[in-house]
Structures are given as C-alpha cells and as structure tokens.
Structure 1
Amino acid sequence: MISAIETVPLQSFDGPLAAELFLVARILFGGVLAFTGVNHFLDLEGMAGYAEMKGIPAPTASVALSGVVLVAGGLGVILGVFPALAAGALAAFLLVATPTMHDFWAVPEDQQQSEMTSFLKNVGLLGASLTLVALGALEWPYAVGLGLF
C-alpha cells in the first residue's frame, strides 16, 4: 500500500536565501512579461497586424489592452502589489493568448516549430503565474505589501 502523502502548508519564506531567491524569481518573471508589454506599445502597428492576421477582433485595441495587462501584471509581481491579482491577470492573458496567437497546429509546416516554441514558452509562463497566484495569500518578502489578503 502507498503511504499517504501529507502536505504542510507553506507559511513563510524562511529557508536559507528563500526570500532572496523568490525576489530574483519575481524580478525575472515579472520583468520579462512587463518588457513584453512595453514592446506591445513600441511596435503597436506591427503587433496589431499580426493579431489581425490571427483573427483577433479589434487588433489594435487588443494589443494595447494586452500590453497594459502585461506591464501592470509584471510590475505587480515584481513589487508585490496585489500579487494574486497581478499573477491572475497574467495567467488569464496567457490562457487566452497562447492558443490564439501560437496555434502551431494551424500554420504552414515551415512556421510550426517557431509557433510551437512560443506556445510551449507561454505554457511554462502560465504555470509560473498560476504558482504565484497560489502563493498570493502569503506575505511576500521584499514586497510593497498591498494585496487582497
């Protein structure tokens, strides 16, 4: 018979360097997504054209709105400002954008590898954002400390 696996709820980031590593992870994760959001504004026309090609309604507004979500969500994760909401907004963006913008199964063969790589990258980012949503109820070290919980 398999032994029962018991879980111990995480109460804090009190392991060796846990708080510092969590801060570095937040900066890397949130920074990449915030930078991506800034790029939505720097190349709004080009990204709107790509979104239109993918069949996204109101492509310019959609790219601008997604840029706002990425910048606000990324900064929220970095700073620890409404972290569960910030990570949840990023997860929602990734859940919608990943299959619509990186549909590797529906593109010509010469584009499939590139789209699959982007798709899988986004799936990994979605996993990370869901992890941060789960940790959103904890007090984050090195954070501004504004939150829902």
Structure 2
Amino acid sequence: MLAEFTTLPLQLDAPFAGELFLLGRLLFGATLAFMGLNHFMDVDSMAGYAEFKGLPAPRFSVVASGLLLVLGGLGVAAGAFPVLSAGALAVFLLVSAVTMHDFWSVDDPEEKQNEMTGFLKNLYGAGAALALLAVGGSAWPYAVGFGLF
C-alpha cells in the first residue's frame, strides 16, 4: 500500500522561520536584481556575448533579461507578485542555463569550466525559484502581499 500524500499550507511557526524566509528572499531576490542591473551597465559587451551565443536580437535580449531579473528579483525580495516573479525567474534561469552556458559544446578546458559554473549557478537558482514558486500562493511573512494568485 502506498503512503498517502497531503498538501499542507505553508507554515512558518518555528522560531525565526519567518525571519529566515525573509532573509532567504532578500538574498536571492536582491542578488538577481543586482545581476539585472549589470545587464544595463554593460549592454554592449553582454549583447556581443549574446550574439556570439546565437541569440536573436542580442541587444533587446540583454535589456529584456535585465528587466526580468530586476523586476523578478525585487518581486521575490518584497513578496510582491510572488507567483509571477518566481515563475519568470525560474523560466529565465532554466532557459539561460541551456542557451548561454552550453559547456558541453566548448572545447577549451578553461572556458568549459567557466560555462559549467555558469550553468550550475543558473540551475541551482532555478531550483530556488521553483521552490519559491511552489509556495507562491501562500501568505509570505513580511511580504508586501500584492499578487495575482
């Protein structure tokens, strides 16, 4: 006989759980928002790299991804539109891991290692975003509380 699984609402009633959840959101969201700001501070070289990787409309892609990172990161940090913010970040991080950090197609060992590191960073970031997405419909402690869902 298989065990029955039930879904419980997000419960953060352990000591400091709400504060730790907020700290995790701030670290994750602010880091991604800062990365998005970097897209705007170095558009030309990032667009050159995006073009090298074969992205269509590289300059637009850099600006759009920068905007997504800033808004998604701030949304997660503030607890505003958590489903939309975490979902957009998860999709972006998964797609950019595969398109921008395709270490399996690189021959140079040092470049391969750099691309693998970028791939793995995006992958674990996507995992964190998916975890936040999973609890996005629950009330988050210390959150602005705006949302679509």
TM range (shorter): over 0.9
Alignment of 1:24-63 (within 5 A): 24-63=23-62
Q: Name the SS for the 1:68 alignment partner.
A: helix
1:54 is displaced (CA, Å) by 0.3
CA–CA separation in structure 2 for the residues paired with 1:52 and 1:45: 10
Which runs of 5 or more structure 1 residues have no equivalent in the other structure? Answer: none
CA–CA separation in structure 2 for the residues paired with 1:118 and 1:92: 16
Which runs of 5 or more structure 2 residues have no equivalent in the other structure? Answer: none
Contact 1:12 1:138 in 2 (8 A): no
Aligned residue pairs, count? 148
CA–CA separation in structure 2 for the residues paired with 1:142 and 1:11: 14
In the other structure, the counterpart of 2:137 is 137
Contact 1:104 1:115 in 2 (8 A): yes
Matched, 1:9 2:36: no
Contact 1:12 1:139 in 2 (8 A): no
Moved more, 136-145 or 108-117: 108-117
Alignment of 1:17-28 (within 5 A): 17-28=16-27
Contact 1:80 1:145 in 2 (8 A): yes
Contact 2:10 2:135 in 1 (8 A): no
CA–CA separation in structure 1 for the residues paired with 2:32 and 2:75: 11
CA–CA separation in structure 2 for the residues paired with 1:44 and 1:106: 25
CA–CA separation in structure 1 for the residues paired with 2:23 and 2:32: 14
Q: TM-score, normalised by structure 2?
A: 0.94
Report the residue type matching 2:52 in the other structure. Answer: M
1:7 is displaced (CA, Å) by 4.2
1:24 is displaced (CA, Å) by 0.3
In the other structure, the counterpart of 1:108 is 107
Q: Name the SS for the 1:137 alignment partner.
A: coil
CA–CA separation in structure 2 for the residues paired with 1:13 and 1:4: 25
Moved over 3 A (4+): 5-8
